[in-house]
Structures are given as C-alpha cells and as structure tokens.
Amino acid sequence: MNKQEEKRRISCIVCPLSCVGEVSIADGKITGMAGFSCPRGQDYAREEVTAPKRTLTSTVRISGGRLPLLPVVSRQPLPKDKIMACAGCLSTVAVSAPVREGDVIVADILGLGVDVVASRDMTAREEPPGGMMG
Amino acid sequence: MPSNDRTDVIIVGGGIVGAAIARELAKYDLNVLLLERHPDLAMETTKANSAILHAGFDASPGSLKALLNVRGNELFRQLQADLGLELKLTGSLVVATSAAEMDAIGELYSRGGENGVPGLKILSREQVLDIEPNLTEQTLGALHAPTAGIISPFGAALAFAENAALNGVKIIRECPVTAIAVTDGRIAGVHTPHGFIAARFVVNAAGVGADTVSRLAGDDSFRIKPRKGEYLLFDKKASCLVKTVVFPTPTKVSKGILVSPTVHGNMFVGPNALDCRDADDVDTSAAGLAEIVAGAEKLVPGIPVGASITQFAGLRAVADGGDFIIGPSPAVGGLVHAAGIQSPGLTAAPAIAERVAAVLRDLGLEMKPNRRFNPVNPPRVLFSELDAAARQALIRENPLYGRVICRCETITEGEIVAAIHSVCGARTVDGVKRRTRAGMGRCQGGFCGPRVTAILARELSLPVTAVRKDTVGSYLFFDKIPRLCEVDSR
Amino acid sequence: MIEQAYDVVVVGGGPAGLAAAVSASDNGALRVLVIERDRELGGILQQCIHNGFGLHRFQQELTGPGYAGRYIRMVGERPNIAVLLDTMVLSVAGDKTILAVNPRDGLLKITAAAVVFAMGCRERTRGAIRIPGSRPAGVFTAGAAQRMVNMEGYLPGKKIVILGSGDIGLIMARRLSLEGCDVKAVLEIMPYSNGLTRNVVQCLEDFGIPLHLSHTVVGVHGKDRVTGITCAKVDDALRPVPGSEFDLECDCLLLSVGLIPENELSGDLGIEMDGLTGGPVVDQLRQTSLPGFFAAGNVVHVHDLVDFVSEEGETAGKYAARHACGLSSSVGRLARIMASDGVRTAVPQVVRLDDVRTAPVRLYMRVARPERRVTLRLLSNSELLLERVLPVAKPGEMVVADIPADKLRAIGDVVTVVLRRQGGEQGE
C-alpha cells in the first residue's frame, strides 16, 4: 500500500439511501472508492474530495425596508473553503429598499465568479424600519 | 434617587410582605421608601410558591402564623375588589387515606377551631368524592375549609405595590442595600450603590435574605434557612383534575405535595421540601420533579405529566425558631423585622403589614392618617374577558388593543404597553409576563417573547440588546456584529 | 363591528394557507379570504432563508422566502382573494362564523361557507420536556432564534449548544456558525438524527460541530444568563445514564425538540383529533369530522417538505371551494386507515369512498424508527391494496404512497398499513 494513501469517509447526500462510503486518495489523486451503491454517489464523492461546493444563504442589512434584514443566496454553489469568507463579507453589506427577488446584491463575490442575489422582494416602507413589531 | 425629604421608613424587600407593608404605611402621612434589589418586585419567594390563600388550621394555636393567617385570609377577601386581586375562594380539602390520617384531620379540625377558622367540616368519603371525583380510591374522608382559596401571589404583591405607589410610597428597584448605618445603637440610614439614604426606621422584609440584612445592621439574632420547593405547571387544555386545593394529610415538616388549580385556570403539583445552602438556588432537578409527581399521584392518580408547560422552584424563608419573626430588633433601635415568612406568609401578608405598622407606632413613629389615601387601584384592562362592544370601543380608542401578541392567553399589545407604563411598571420580559400573562401559556413565550422584548425596547427607549428576561444581568439578545470584508460591496 | 361574508376563509397565510386560497379560487370559490396573524404572508418560510425548497413543486431549488414569494404572487394575481394581515382569529363557531381582530378594523365578524384551517405548528418548549436546572436567559426554541437571526438582526448567544438534531436544529447550527458563533455541539436523545443526511453533512460536518447521539441535557446552569449545560448519555429507554454526565460551557441553549400542530381553534370546535399526529382526523379531501371544515399543512401533521404542504393545501382549498359551491364532500362511506407495525402515523386517517370517486388516494406516513429494506403493505379485507419495498425509511422523512383508484372498491371498513421486514417478519 502506498504510504501517502489517505482514506476519507463520505456520507452521500444524493438520495435517501445515505450511503457512507470511503474514498482512497494518494498523491492528491483518487485511487479507489468503496461503499457507494450508484454512479451518482461516486460522482458526488469525487466532487466532495476534489472540489466541494456549497450554496451560501445569509442576510444583509437593508435600510428603508419593511424588515431590517434582506435574505440572500449565492446564485451558484461556492467553493466550500470560501464559505466563511463570503459569509463574513455579507455581514458588512448594507443595501436600500426596494429590492426585488433576484437583484444582484454582491456581484462576483470575492472574485469567485458567483453573484449573491436577493432571495425575496423587499418593498420600501414610509414608516420607520420595522424590526420585530412590523 | 429619593427626594431630599426626610425618609421615615425604608422597607427592604419588595416581595408580598414588603409590598403589603408599603401599602399599609401609605395610609399614614409618612415618607416611605421601598428598596428592591432586583429589576422588579415579587421576584423571589413571592413568584414561586403554592399560591394558596390558606384557611389557617395548620399552625399551632397562639403562634404568629396561626393568628396572622386567619386575619390575613379575612383581609385578602376584603381587599379583593379594591385592589383588583386575582383570587378565587375554591375551598381546600385535606385528604385522609388511613385511619391514622382520619385521626390527624380530626386534630386539624380542632386546631382550626382554636385558631378561629370559620366553616371547617369533616367530610365523608362520599362527600369528598362528590366534590373531587378524581381523588384516589383510598380516600376515607377530608377536612374541608371553605375560606381557603387560590390567588396570584405576584399579582397580589404588584397590586399592593401599585396602590402604595399611587398613595405616595416611593419604590426604587435595582437598589440593593449594601450596608446599614447605625449611630448610637439606632438606625441612621442605608447605603446603596446609588448613595446613602438617611432614615429613622428600617423594616426588614428581605425574605430569604432577611438574616443577611439584619446582620448588616449588626443584629445577629436569627438565621434563615432556605427550604426549596419544586413545582410542575400544566397546560390549561389538559383537564384540570381538581376544583379545590387538595392537600395530603400533613406531616410535621410540611403540608405535603398538593394538587391545585391556579387562578388562571392551569393545574399545578408540588412542592417538595429540600433544605439548601444558597439563598439563590432555585434550580429544579429530575429527582425533585419525579418526587412531586409521585406525591401528587398518591392523591390524584393520572397526573398528565406530558402536558406540563413549565417547572420551577421557590425558596421558603424558614427562620430557626419556626414561627414568623415580627417585631423590633433586639439589638438595633429603629430596625423592625418581618422575617422568617414561610408558609402561610402569602396569606398572612396584609396582617403582617398591620402588625408591623403597630410595632412602628409603639416604637414612637408618629402615624397621622393620610387624608388622600385612595384604597382602590385603577381597573386593569383584560381584553380576553371583555365583550365585543367593549373590545371594539377599546380598539377604536387605542389600536394597540387590536393586536394580539400572546396567542396562547390572548394578550394584546395595548395591555403590554399599559403594563410597562403603569405605576411601578414592567421593565423585563418576565415582568410583562407577571403583569399580563403574556408568555404564560403553552408556548411559554416561544412566539411572543421576542415581540415583548421589542415592545419593551420601544417603550423604554432601550436597544433590544439591553432588554432583560428577569434578573439584573439576564440580557436576552446580542447584536449581529459586522466583520471585515476583503472586497467592497455595491 | 365589520361583518363580511366569503365562500372560503383560510385561517393562516403560510404555505398551506396560500396554496389553499389559490386552489379555492381556481376551483370555483368566488370570494376567498386569507387571515394571517403576522405582518406579511409566507409564514415560517420567511425565516427559513436556506435553500432546498421546491424541488417537487417547482422543479428547482428555492430558498424559503423564494418559495413563499411564488405563492404570494399567485395570491396577488387572483383579485378574488382578499388578505387580512396582522389579524388574529379569536374564535371559530360551528356555524362558520369567525371572530377576528386587528388594530385597523377592530373586531371583524366573518362568515364563511367553508373554512380551511392552516395555522401550522408551534415549537415544543423546555417546560414540555422538563429539562431541570436554573431558568436563566439564553434558552430559546430554535425557530424563535431563527427569526431573530434571519429577520430581526439579533443573535441569541455566542457560544451555542443545540438540543435536537431535526432539520431546524441542524440548519441553525450552520446559520449561527456563519454568523460567527461558536456552536459547541448538537445533542440528540435518539440514537439517530432526525434530520436529512444532507443537513448533517453540510450543517455540522462542514463546520466541525460534534453530534452527540443518544445524549440529552440534564441540567441548565447560570443565574442571569446561561453559563453552561450538563449533558448525559441516555439508555435504550431514553433515561440519563448515571456517571455519563459532562458539562459544556455555553451562553445559549437552543431547543429543536419537536413541533406541535397548532389546533386550539379546531379543538374548541370539537373536531375529532388524532392523538399521534396532534392534528385533526381528515379524509383524503382534507375535510375534518365537521362538514365544511378543512385542514391542511402542519396543522394536520408535521411535514418534512413544504412541497407536500402545498399539495395538501391545494386539496383542502379545492374541496372547500366545492363545498362552498354546494357540492358536498360528505357523501359515501368512510374507511379508517390504521397505522401499525412500525408505521407510526398515516394521513389521511379516513378514506371517503363513494361511487364516483376514481382518483387514487395518496397516503403520507411516518415510520416509528429507522428501517432498511422493509416492505410497506396496505391491506383491507385481507386484500393487498399496495405493496412497496422501501430501501430505507426514516422517522424524519415521510413515506408517500398512493392507493390505486382501481383498488378503492376493495376497501372495507378498515385499511391497515404495516411494515414487514424481508422474510415476512414484522418491522418492529
């Protein structure tokens, strides 16, 4: 056995079967897979090991809206290891109402080529910003 | 801080006893100050006890407990209308399940007679089961006391305090007494974090802290041993298995684990009795909760444990002598104790207040009647109990009465705002709960808690992060804190 | 007092209520009203800002607000649907008179030809599960905390322990991690997580948050604010194992320990309830035991997917509209669905059988415990109505199966639903 070989357990999330398989890696390359019962699971495991991605959802501050926060979502999945950095970035962002669902809130976040967009409409309101009592 | 007027009496402690004393002294032309260390009144023993208006057959004839229980029961019934007290005279039963217990309730019956308790009767098994069909099959008979009842203890304390404040008593909260100044063997005043307050008399109504307060003045004449009792409270929708207060036959140390309705229509069981060292240990335990359920099951089988909505513990302030300690300090002039007020202290409170007033008079305090004393509290709006026309009129006048904040108890924003802005109003989420019942229902504030927090913030002009649950440091929420970002957003 | 009359009144403007209103409008109801107690429509979806909604219903992955937005727009496009926001229903009478209140109109007396209950559910609290200890600030239900974090802009704490590994608990673990909180652990009293594997992976494993299965909280510490909790391992009877206790330092305990259908209004009417689901007993039209009263969504039984909630709302809205138009939904005999042998609940609890009904009947079931390779069987009059092999079945995920229309005639008074392990053994 290759001394460099590493085994990683991966819980597959593709279907309700939830196979838990093992991926063997040596010199940064996948050398083997066991425990996944279908090709989709193997594809998932391959991506999880090589380039895992996650959709990011969070909130940004919004002024003049019915609520003080606007929920946002990354339009495509982001590299998993950049998720915390992107969340940190979003926590400093503030926009103004009105906003429509799908409006770009942060374009090309951290230069990763992915836009973060509003996930709901937020109409402006004339009274002072709502918060909990609305 | 208080005005520059001379303070005649400082009451230390804003539980039911301190509040009743404050209201009693408000009947006189005196400058009275009530100091409470917590953000609200009624936050210790007064908020966590059996909430029973006792008839008065338990205590030994001639004891202060016996005397003041019977008198207090009578006073509460007289005060109900004036103060708007939540009180129901349900009557109580002491249930006997053995021949020995039948003998014991016979003794209670005679003792009650000596204590002057009206209307006591020994009921047969059939008569008891007719009143309370869910009692144990082992029931042989019971002592029935028609003058016993149930009451909201913190409601009563707040009502006394409100009336006291309306009649000129100053109430300062979050104001612990840190030291007591004694000059030539007499009270000179008290030190607080807000400064020194000179006063001629100090009334010690500090509950489980009464011995500590006494020692601050150099009087080491008694000890308070906190004795914990745990309770379980059930959802209104769970069938309330009893209509009256149901006690087991008492033992020497305790009245036992009882089953009772509350004035708000819930059922509760408890308490057990555990001596504890800390005067602030109100933790519940799995063993204790199991104990009270087992105890209650002996009286009323089929306690719906799954329908419990909350559990809590309270401390009884047990003095080493066993009886109440009411009277002048043996060591310090001008210090008057109202200490060791364990059960039946809630019931006795207005009678304790009368007695403390008499003691102060005996000690030379001049007590001219306060001609402007108004014994009546302004009525409190209870939206859920109004008819349609009254509700409609109320909402037209103030639209906030049209927004229901607590869904379980149907409490409106108007009632919550009124509770915040009333005399001695709510400053905390639990303070709102104690005054309005918002958050007391089956969801236990899960839905309305954050909204009540927001209303408090708005009405008291505080940031949401400065709103507290109950105690001085019980902040509820933190701000989301923005972090640094590597890129500019749009 | 303002008095209004509608064909169909929907109580609750979350996903079930919105779907019911749209469907009622599309199936012949001329005047439809949605009564919502919050300040806007959408219900709990508005605080569920994560993605993963709508794969069945819209064939794309949406966030909660995105999913709600689609239904809110559908409601807006139908001029015969009126909406009352910030309005609380105080009572519903058997004659379908509804008393409601709001700050703008005061009391409203609303009459309906048919009513759809869509009030959703509430969270089980600390009191209900009797966690001993002190009662400081910092103990919140996960959903209440979710609203604070996602809609109001406040955090419930900085160092968090979560009790309950259902999806809400898992989602909040990730959410608070993204907000910079230190999520110390998620505790689960059962030997398995009730959440989706995807959430265990993406909400816990991604952030290195430990999941302690077969553990629960046995003590809360702190006078003012939570300072820590004691947790312990539990045995097979879910009782804490003495000696297994350990402390976790935290300033916040979030509870994700179950949802309870919000049925105060239905209960007051005397509608027949199902003790296991916590909701009313309904037939496949989502009509309750009281004719003209329908129910849909989490008020009936707690769903796993909002898509099924919408589906149920559409059914209830459709038959409420038909009822309002004078087409009674109360003809034909009823058969009881009895869940047993590893199946905990089945909805609908009754099937209405009349000669004209030819649509298959869809059952939503929850299993009692995790199973692998079991057979789901529906039987009536010892005839097999349906048999389906389930490669995997989890309590947290609903099992959905249709009784084919051509089998409906074979149904007697009772349909039993069972799980069989391979080899015919019971799925116990």
Q: Where in chain A are the domains?
A: 5-50, 57-118
Would you state the structure tokens that stand for residue B428, as one six-digit string? Answer: 């905390």
- Within 207-226 of C, beta carbons closer than 8 Å to A belong to none
Burial of C175 (0-12, 13-18, 19+ CB in 10 A): buried
If you count residue pairs, one on B and one on C, with CB atoms under 8 Å apart, how many are there? 141
List the single residue in B451, B480, B489 with the smallest CB-CB distance to A93: B489
Taking only the tens place, the pLDDT of each residue in C237-277 is: 999 999 999 999 999 999 999 999 999 999 889 999 999 99
Task: Please answer yes or no on whether A120 and C394 come within 8 Å at the CB atom.
Answer: no
| Residue C348: cis peptide before it, omega within 30 degrees of 0 | yes
pLDDT band at A125 (very low <50, low <70, confident <90, very high): confident
- What is the arithmetic mean of pLDDT over B423-442? 94
**What pLDDT is stored for residue A37 in this prediction?**
87
- What is the arithmetic mean of pLDDT over B299-309? 91
**Those residues with Cβ within 8 angstroms of residue C233's Cβ, 6 or more apart along the chain or in another chain:** C214, C215, C240, C241, C244
pLDDT band at C130 (very low <50, low <70, confident <90, very high): confident
Q: What percent of chain B has pLDDT over 70?
A: 97
- What is the arithmetic mean of pLDDT over C150-156? 95
Tell me the CA distances in angstroms from B211 to B107, B198, B215, B274, B363, one per residue in order: 34, 21, 6, 19, 21
Residue in B130, B98, B122, B153 with CA at minimum distance from that of residue B244: B130
Q: What residues of A are in contact with residue C196 (Cβ under 8 Å)? A: 13
Query: Is residue C317 less than 8 Å (CB to CB) from chain B?
Result: no
pLDDT at C15 over 80: yes
Would you state the structure tokens that stand for residue B104, as one six-digit string? Answer: 């014991």
Q: Which of C197, C304, C376, C397 to mutate to test binding with chain A, by most A CBs within 10 Å of its CB?
A: C197
Query: Is residue B458 less than 8 Å (CB to CB) from chain A?
Result: yes
**Those residues with Cβ within 8 angstroms of residue A127's Cβ, 6 or more apart along the chain or in another chain:** none
Residues C24, C32 contacting (CB under 8 angstroms) = yes
Residue C220 Cα, gap to closest chain B Cα (Å): 8
Residue in C224, C252, C375, C317 with CA at minimum distance from that of residue C6: C317
Distance in angstroms (rounded) separating the CA atoms of residues B372 and B374: 6
**Those residues with Cβ within 8 angstroms of residue A67's Cβ, 6 or more apart along the chain or in another chain:** A122, A129, A130, A131, A134, C151, C152
Instruction: Determine whether domain A57-118 maps to CATH 3.30.450.20.
Output: no
**Those residues with Cβ within 8 angstroms of residue B203's Cβ, 6 or more apart along the chain or in another chain:** B9, B10, B11, B12, B18, B21, B336, B337, B338, B356, B360
**What pLDDT is stored for residue B3 in this prediction?**
47
Taking only the tens place, the pLDDT of each residue in A36-65 is: 989 999 999 999 999 999 999 999 999 999
**What pLDDT is stored for residue C354 in this prediction?**
77
Burial of B191 (0-12, 13-18, 19+ CB in 10 A): middle
Helix axes B448-459, B413-421, angle to 10 degrees: 40
**What pLDDT is stored for residue B2 in this prediction?**
45
- What is the arithmetic mean of pLDDT over C279-297? 96
- Within 240-299 of C, beta carbons closer than 8 Å to B belong to 240, 264, 267
pLDDT at B487 over 70: no
Residue A17 Cα, gap to closest chain C Cα (Å): 6
pLDDT band at C129 (very low <50, low <70, confident <90, very high): confident
Residue C338 Cα, gap to closest chain B Cα (Å): 24
**What pLDDT is stored for residue C327 in this prediction?**
87
- What is the arithmetic mean of pLDDT over C282-304? 96
Task: Please answer yes or no on whether A104 and B485 come within 8 Å at the CB atom.
Answer: no
pLDDT band at A17 (very low <50, low <70, confident <90, very high): confident
Distance in angstroms (rounded) separating the CA atoms of residues C240 and C238: 7
Identify each DSSP E strand in C182-332 by its residue range.
182-188, 211-213, 215-221, 228-233, 246-249, 252-255, 259-261, 293-295
CA B490 to chain CA centroid, Å, is 56
pLDDT at C425 over 60: no
pLDDT band at A133 (very low <50, low <70, confident <90, very high): very low
Query: Is residue C223 less than 8 Å (CB to CB) from chain B?
Result: yes
Is the alpha carbon torsion for B242, B243, B249, B251 positive or negative? Answer: positive
pLDDT at A132 over 60: no
Q: Report the greatest alpha carbon distance in chain A.
A: 70
Residue C109 Cα, gap to closest chain B Cα (Å): 10
Q: What residues of B are in contact with residue A68 (Cβ under 8 Å)? A: none
**What pLDDT is stored for residue B202 in this prediction?**
98
- What is the arithmetic mean of pLDDT over C341-359? 86
pLDDT band at C332 (very low <50, low <70, confident <90, very high): confident
Task: Please answer yes or no on whether B470 and C158 come within 8 Å at the CB atom.
Answer: no
Task: Please answer yes or no on whether A111 and B484 come within 8 Å at the CB atom.
Answer: no
pLDDT at B490 over 50: no
pLDDT at C89 over 90: yes
C330-363 b/e with 16+ CB inside 10 Å = b? eeeeebebbbebbbebbbbbbbbbeeebeebbbb
Residues B349, B17 contacting (CB under 8 angstroms) = yes
Query: Catalytic residue numbers of B?
Result: 54
Q: What residues of A are in contact with residue B455 (Cβ under 8 Å)? A: 133
Query: Which of A30-34, B482-486, C351-355 is least confident?
Result: B482-486
List the single residue in A93, A105, A133 with the smallest CB-CB distance to B455: A133
Residue in the structure block whose two tokens are 């509290």: B377
Burial of B132 (0-12, 13-18, 19+ CB in 10 A): buried
- What is the arithmetic mean of pLDDT over C377-398? 91
pLDDT at C339 over 60: yes
Chains with ≥3 Cβ pairs under 8 A against B?
A, C
- What is the arithmetic mean of pLDDT over C86-108? 97
Task: Please answer yes or no on whether B480 and C103 come within 8 Å at the CB atom.
Answer: no
Task: Please answer yes or no on whether C61 and A55 come within 8 Å at the CB atom.
Answer: yes
- What is the arithmetic mean of pLDDT over C24-33? 97
